[in-house]
Amino acid sequence: MLRRSQFLFILIVTLLCSCAGMRPGYESPSVSLRSFRYLPQDGISPRFEIGLHLVNPNKTALPLNGIFYTVKIEGHKVLTGVANDLPTVEPYGEADILLEASVDLLQGVGLFQTLLTQPQTSLKYVFDAKLDVGAAFGSDIRIQEKGQFLPDR
């Protein structure tokens, strides 16, 4: 059984450790979708370029360890990808990231069927991403952007 002094010691250590993770004045970095465009096809699988813009409003550098993203087009999850060759965003700095993804043909079958039966003048998309900024910065940064683009015909 713990003595009162041991209990107080454990409580104080726990409180100090939890305070160490807090960062006074820390603001969450901003991530926005800068571009999402269809690239000219050079094979049977369509390709897309996804541009992200990051803003670090803090006085410490923001290391980006990796990103996991998915894209739904017309309600069909057709792109899933990861990247780990990402920049560190300097204090009070900005960075752009370009991701290039190809449609998985098996996942794209549903989209292809939709486009054949219901021709579209524009395509709606939903972009979801999780940026890993490391344990020192707390939780991952999550973004979701919705929009539409015109396919190159």
pLDDT in tens, the chain (153 residues): 456 655 555 656 555 544 444 456 678 788 888 888 888 877 777 778 888 899 999 898 888 899 998 888 888 888 888 999 999 999 999 999 999 887 777 777 877 787 788 877 788 888 888 988 876 666 688 888 888 876 555
Give the model's pLDDT for residue 96: 95
- The total number of residues shown for the chain amounts to 153
- How far, in Å, are 75, 79, 143 from residue 70 at the CA level? 12, 5, 11
Residue 16 lies in a domain: no
Residue 40 lies in a domain: yes
Number of Cβ within a 10 Å radius of residue 125: 21
Give the model's pLDDT for residue 92: 96
SS3 letters across the chain: CCCHHHHHHHHHHHHHHHHHCCCCCCCCCEEEEEEEEEECCCCCCCEEEEEEEEECCCCCCEECCEEEEEEEECCEEEEEEEECCCCEECCCCEEEEEEEEECCHHHHHHHHHHHHHCCCCCEEEEEEEEEECCHHHCCCEEEEEEEEECCCC
Residue 19 lies in a domain: no
Residue 54 lies in a domain: yes
Residue 104 lies in domain: 24-149
Give the model's pLDDT for residue 20: 42
Is the four-CA dihedral 113, 115, 116, 117 of positive or negative sign? positive
The structural domain count of the chain equals 1
Residue 3 lies in a domain: no
Residue 6 lies in a domain: no
Structure tokens at 43: 């094979």
The CATH number covering residue 64 comes to 2.60.40.10
**67 and 33 Cβ atoms separated by less than 8 Å:** no
Residue 12 lies in a domain: no
